[in-house]
Chains A and B, each alone.
Chain A
Amino acid sequence: MEIINNGIRPDHQVIFDMIEPGSRVLDLGCGTGDLLQLVARDKDARVQGIELDEHAIYECVRKGLSVCQSDIESGLAEYPDGSFDYVILNQSLQEIRKVFFLLREALRVGNRVIVGFPNFAYINARVCLGLGGKAPMTPSLPYRWYDTPNVRFLSISDFRSFCAEQGFAVRKACFLNGERTITFWPNLRALGAIFLLSWEEKKGR
């Protein structure tokens, strides 16, 4: 399926479509706030960002957004349970050390968590490593082995198993290859994935 592109990043469009109007939304690592601005304006959402970079914060404030400076791992600590309808964790899961802790925290603070990450099992990455014998580089993994900020290397299948083990229910999953979403063989064909998670019913924390 082709995503209608209005100059909006495909992953932002997918996340945007997952959010119910009028929600409270927290974006962990919101960058310059493009996604939050979109969600605030067109979904009438109450939004809050967390970002480390000073100049990215200036950009957010220029857009009228509220942002607290913090790193992702310590940014959630003080929020009371259920403060947000959605917590977004887009394109930073692979850079997080305490993955399980962070996702539990996100599901404490938010009722739903939207996680977007690059797929390390994308076919080109497999070819790169399996046939080329070199650390994979793909459009969603553009770094070389010595300058990558990534510390976690996961595939879509890995993440699905992880969610099942931890008791996270996958409410929606969307797989991206450039401008297109795909449904067939995503673990091989998708550059990245976006999951909508909640706690499994009854399981609680």
Chain B
Amino acid sequence: MRQPADRERSSGFFITYKTKRSLKVFSHPRIFYRGANTKAAAGKEPMKAVLKTESSETTPDGCNRSLGIVETRYYTFAEPPGTLALESGETLGPVTLAYETYGTLNPEKSNAILVLHALSGDAHAAGLLRDEEAPGWWDAMIGPGKPFDTDQYFVICSNVIGGCKGSTGPSSVNPQSGQPYGTEFPFVTIADMVHAQRRLIDFLGIDRLLCVVGGSMGGMQALQWVASYPERVRSAIPIATALKHSPQQIAFNEVSRQSIMADPAWREGNYYETGQPEKGLSVARMIGHITFMSDQSMEEKFSRKLKKGHLNFNFDVDFEVEGYLRYRGANFVKRFDANSYLYITKAMDYFDLSGGKLINGRAVDTRFLVISFQSDWLYPSYQSQEIVRQLKLKRVDATYCELKSTYGHDAFLVELEGQTTLIHHFLEKTYLGPRNGNGNHQ
């Protein structure tokens, strides 16, 4: 998961500038890039989430208990002669999914929540891994007493296929050749990611998920879950997402891809022996970070502050915003595979559930909570409102709210108070049953 730009807000981001750690050489695709930890500072800032519950676990400053040490697990399926059929017509196998679970599945298996990550995220959504200092990317939302309350719910998060955080992707070894797939890796779509997750949910013995939830690309997966398996989803929370990418969103992704592919180190994707296209990937990430912030949040965070207090009259970093972007880019290449970036951005661009494909025919009793953020210009509110329009057309139970925030697209990771209130009560209502307060029967 990309790091929210404003996590270090209170103390200024420069404290997060750390000695550059060397890229760990990977010997197994599963642990590829796992070692590099760019989340160092994230856990140290006091959380902004203020959960207004009666929970005795809520500490005075609003922070809740952490999950403590968690563990990434791996599930492999589609082993020969089986394969996973992909939307492109190609097949993939064997397929490994990295996943983590938090909390306990109840005997009725009715309390399972699937959390879906964004473009550069991973299975490590909450708690602490043994060898890392920083908690998972949505630790503020998942844990005891938090909106995804692990005292009550069983929370699952899995890395997508095509990724590089333990699930099968272009950096995994192709069993046919014994070499990393590289660009031999078949194109995967959001639907393919979801079909793979369904296998994991089958494996975990869960018939019906209490909720599928995610922001950005995670929201696309949540929507795809409803489109593909409506009977297996009791509720969905798509956050800061869209039914399809606009030309503008595709354009940003295309520039990012071009940046990677223009780097000579990319070598048509066959760089696993020689080192990845760090320059191209870091520029791609810089573009990403610009789109995750808002004009206002950048002004508040950087203004025109100078790194050294004076102009350099050279092409080094003059402005803090330049330093920030370079820092983000440099850190990102330590933890993310350039080919995965290419494949996953394509999957996002291909995604299209517009024109009635979200709710396609079958009566759907899935409840929806749709959330967008006022200053998010990458996934503007009109795209969430389009989701809501589709739900109204099909008479699907829907709640929608645009939250006030100045953080841009990053808001879904950092603007926690409104999300906390909405998600906590929406989930509770879904879990405790449809007849309590608002009948959900047709």
A154 interfacial contact with B, CB 8 Å: no
A54 in complex: contacting residue of B418, B438, B440, CB < 8 Å: B418
In the bound complex, CA of A62 to CA of B425 (Å)? 5
Judge whether B393 and A66 touch: CB under 8 Å: no
B441 in complex: contacting residue of A37, A46, A62, CB < 8 Å: A46
In the bound complex, CA of A40 to CA of B434 (Å)? 11
Q: Which of A161-177 contact B (CB under 8 A)?
A: none
Instruction: For B400, list chain A residues within 8 Å (CB).
Output: 67-70
Judge whether A40 and B425 touch: CB under 8 Å: no
Interface size bracket, A side: 20 to 34
In the bound complex, CA of A177 to CA of B430 (Å)? 40
A152 interfacial contact with B, CB 8 Å: no
Closest to A46 in B: B439
A55 to chain B: closest CB distance in Å?
9
In the bound complex, CA of A47 to CA of B434 (Å)? 11
Instruction: For A58, list chain B residues within 8 Å (CB).
Output: 401, 418, 421-422
B442 interfacial contact with A, CB 8 Å: yes
Instruction: For B44, list chain A residues within 8 Å (CB).
Output: none
B305 interfacial contact with A, CB 8 Å: no
In the bound complex, CA of A77 to CA of B428 (Å)? 30
Judge whether A61 and B426 touch: CB under 8 Å: yes
A65 in complex: contacting residue of B395, B435, B437, CB < 8 Å: B437
Instruction: For B428, list chain A residues within 8 Å (CB).
Output: 64
B287 to chain A: closest CB distance in Å?
31
B404 in complex: contacting residue of A41, A54, A62, A66, CB < 8 Å: A54
Closest to B428 in A: A64
A57 interfacial contact with B, CB 8 Å: yes
Q: Which of B41-69 contact A (CB under 8 A)?
A: none
Q: Tell me which of B400, B403, B404 has the highest count of chain A C-beta atoms within 10 A of its own C-beta.
A: B400
Judge whether B438 and A65 touch: CB under 8 Å: yes
In the bound complex, CA of A122 to CA of B25 (Å)? 82
A79 interfacial contact with B, CB 8 Å: yes
Instruction: For B435, list chain A residues within 8 Å (CB).
Output: 44
Q: Which of B374-397 contact A (CB under 8 A)?
A: 388-389, 392-393, 395, 397
Closest to A78 in B: B392
By secondary structure, the B interface counts as: mixed
A40 in complex: contacting residue of B367, B388, B421, B437, CB < 8 Å: B437
Closest to B422 in A: A61
A176 to chain B: closest CB distance in Å?
27
B429 interfacial contact with A, CB 8 Å: yes
Closest to B441 in A: A46
Judge whether A78 and B402 touch: CB under 8 Å: no
Kindly supply a per-residue 1/0 record for chain B positions 403-442, scoring 1 wherever the CB is within 8 Å of any chain A CB and 0 otherwise.
1100000000000001001100110110000011111111
A83 interfacial contact with B, CB 8 Å: yes
B246 interfacial contact with A, CB 8 Å: no
Judge whether B426 and A41 touch: CB under 8 Å: no
Instruction: For A36, list chain B residues within 8 Å (CB).
Output: 438
B399 interfacial contact with A, CB 8 Å: yes
In the bound complex, CA of A77 to CA of B438 (Å)? 23
* Given the contacts A41-B437, A61-B422, A68 and B402 also touching, CB distance less than 8 Å: no
A32 interfacial contact with B, CB 8 Å: no
B398 interfacial contact with A, CB 8 Å: yes
In the bound complex, CA of A79 to CA of B392 (Å)? 5
A80 interfacial contact with B, CB 8 Å: yes
Instruction: For A45, list chain B residues within 8 Å (CB).
Output: 439
Closest to A83 in B: B395
In the bound complex, CA of A47 to CA of B399 (Å)? 12
B168 to chain A: closest CB distance in Å?
38
* Given the contacts A67-B399, A69-B400, A83-B395, A61 and B425 also touching, CB distance less than 8 Å: yes
Instruction: For A54, list chain B residues within 8 Å (CB).
Output: 401-404, 418
Q: Which of A63-120 contact B (CB under 8 A)?
A: 63-70, 77-80, 83
* Given the contacts A68-B388, A68-B392, A78-B392, A57 and B438 also touching, CB distance less than 8 Å: no
A48 interfacial contact with B, CB 8 Å: yes
In the bound complex, CA of A58 to CA of B389 (Å)? 21
Q: Tell me which of B395, B429, B437 has the highest count of chain A C-beta atoms within 10 A of its own C-beta.
A: B437
Closest to B432 in A: A64
Judge whether A61 and B421 touch: CB under 8 Å: yes
A68 in complex: contacting residue of B395, B398, B441, B442, CB < 8 Å: B398
Q: Tell me which of B392, B426, B441 has the highest count of chain A C-beta atoms within 10 A of its own C-beta.
A: B392
Closest to A74 in B: B385
Judge whether B441 and A66 touch: CB under 8 Å: no
Closest to B389 in A: A78
18 contacts between A and B (CB under 8 A): A36-B438, A40-B437, A41-B437, A44-B435, A44-B439, A47-B439, A57-B399, A58-B401, A58-B421, A61-B421, A64-B437, A66-B399, A66-B438, A67-B401, A68-B400, A69-B402, A78-B392, A83-B395
Q: Which 4 residue pairs across A and B have the least CB separation, nearest first?
A: A64-B437, A78-B392, A64-B429, A46-B439
B contact residues vs A (CB 8 Å cutoff): 367, 369, 388-389, 392-393, 395, 397-404, 418, 421-422, 425-426, 428-429, 435-442
